[in-house]
Amino acid sequence: MTTRRQILIGSASAALLPACKAGNLNRPLLATDHHPEGYPTVAAVRHMGELLSARTDGRLNVKMFAGGQLGSERDTLEITTFGGLDINRVAIAPLNAIEPMTIVPSLPFLFRSTAHMRMALDGPAGDEILASLKPHGLIGLCFYDSGERCFYNTKKPILTPEDMKGMKIRVQNSDLYVSMIKALGADATPMSLSEVYQSLVQGVIDGAENNWPSYQSGGHYTPAPYYSLTRHVMAPEVLVMSASRWEKLSTGDRDIVMQAAKESVPFMRDLWDKRVNDARAALLGEGVKANEVADLSAFSAKMKPVWDRYVVTDRQKALVKSIENLEA
């Protein structure tokens, strides 16, 4: 039986065909992002493309398909692993089902601050997570910031986990986040980002969780104006490349690609910090009711069984420890 996902993946692949000219290695690197043009992740990959082009006299460059036009992150990842797409910027959550090491930076309340998160991902911990993607047909190029994810909903401010009782909360497609929501006493509904706005409007869900820029760019604040600063997850975005395309690059070109990706990180962070501040200010100006949460430990205390369930291998445990021990 042909599933809806297979049809979607098929139509995305068909959309790529004109740009692809299968087997033509002179074609641009085909890149995709769920976010619209102008979003910091999209701008960063465009910047990377400019660096590539400048450093190879236009031999290497990037063609970007932004705005989720090729489907959900889960679907485009599948296309990337079989080589239909070359570069993909995704959240780390859809990689959780593929590679257990990606669970670690996705853990609720792991990172103590933005500085801590950046230090971990810029160092050996980050390198280990990126390298863990290789057996899955993906080359991890770099991490981008995704800020602090917070809960928002259509009903009321969340001050304690008790306030979430019975609420239907959308999560990304990751079992870890389904368990996180259940541990907080709410009901989890995994769905793709593009379905969230309509689901909030129709009351299919009561809330979701995300950073300020995504809350703004998806328009979710209109149906769900209560934004509670739980800062429960600081999981990063990841930029991956299809291993099959990577293997066709010369060693010299691989270095150029890796270097351009690394240089796009500080570029992205500058845009990101500004975007977070602008989104916050604009949304507060539009009447979003944001509230601080006095006792975050009431939320983090409930995460112990979630960590225990998902951090199981020795490698994961060692990675958690090495990140916890960083002094940022």
Spatial separation of the C-alpha atoms in residues 269 and 259, rounded to whole Å = 16
Minimum gap (Å) between residue 119 Cβ and ligand GTR: 21
List all residues 6 or more positions away from 172 whose beta carbon is below 8 Å from its beta carbon.
Answer: 91, 93, 94, 190, 193
CB 69 within 8 A of CB 15: yes
Q: Which stretch binds ligand GTR (CB under 6 A): 44-52, 96-104, 199-207, 210-218?
A: 210-218
* Closer Cβ to ligand GTR, 133 or 193, answer by number: 193
Task: Quote the tokens at residue 76.
Answer: 């485009």
The helix/strand/coil state of 254 is: helix
Pick the closest to residue 231 from 247, 213, 211 (CA basis). Answer: 211
Whichever of 40 and 137 has its CB closer to ligand GTR, that residue is 40
Dihedral over Cα of 192, 196, 202, 204: its sign: positive
Task: Give residues with Cβ within 8 angstroms of 24, minimum separation 6.
Answer: none
Structure tokens at 39: 């979003």
Among 45, 193, 249, 260, binds ligand GTR (CB under 6 A): 193
Residue 117 backbone dihedrals phi, psi, to 5 degrees: -60, -45
How many residues belong to the site for ligand GTR (CB under 6 A)? 11
Q: Taking the complex as a whole, how short is the minimal distance between the CB of residue 59 and ligand GTR, in angstroms?
A: 30
Enumerate residues 255-294 that contact ligand GTR by CB under 6 A: none
161-190 residues in contact with ligand GTR (CB under 6 A) are 172
Q: Which two tokens stand for residue 65?
A: 């398909």
Nearest distance, CB of residue 92 and ligand GTR, angstroms = 9
Residue number with the smallest Cβ distance to ligand GTR = 91
Q: Whose Cβ is closer to ligand GTR: residue 60's or residue 174's? A: 174
Question: Least distance from C-beta 56 to ligand GTR, angstroms?
Answer: 28
Q: How far is the CB of 7 from ligand GTR (least distance, A)?
A: 21
Which listed residue (180, 230, 237, 323) binds ligand GTR by CB under 6 A?
A: 237
- Considering only the C-alpha atoms of the chain, give the largest distance between any 2 of them, rounded to a whole number of Å: 59
The least distance separating ligand GTR from the CB of residue 41, rounded to whole angstroms, comes to: 6
Residue 211 makes contact with ligand GTR by CB under 6 A: yes
Listed in order, strand segments (DSSP E) in 187-318 are 187-190, 207-210, 226-233, 237-242, 289-292
**Among positions 79, 91, 129, 293, the unique one binding ligand GTR when judged by CB under 6 A:** 91
Q: Which helix (H) or strand (E) holds 204?
A: none
- Sign, CA torsion 22/28/91/141: positive
Pick between residue 62 and residue 239 the one whose CB is nearest to ligand GTR: 239
User: For ligand GTR, what does the binding mask look like between residues 21 and 40, x meaning CB under 6 A?
Assistant: -------------x------
Chain position carrying tokens 């890796």: 258
148 binds ligand GTR (CB under 6 A): no
Binding interface with ligand GTR (CB under 6 A): 34, 73, 90-91, 146, 172, 193, 210-211, 214, 237
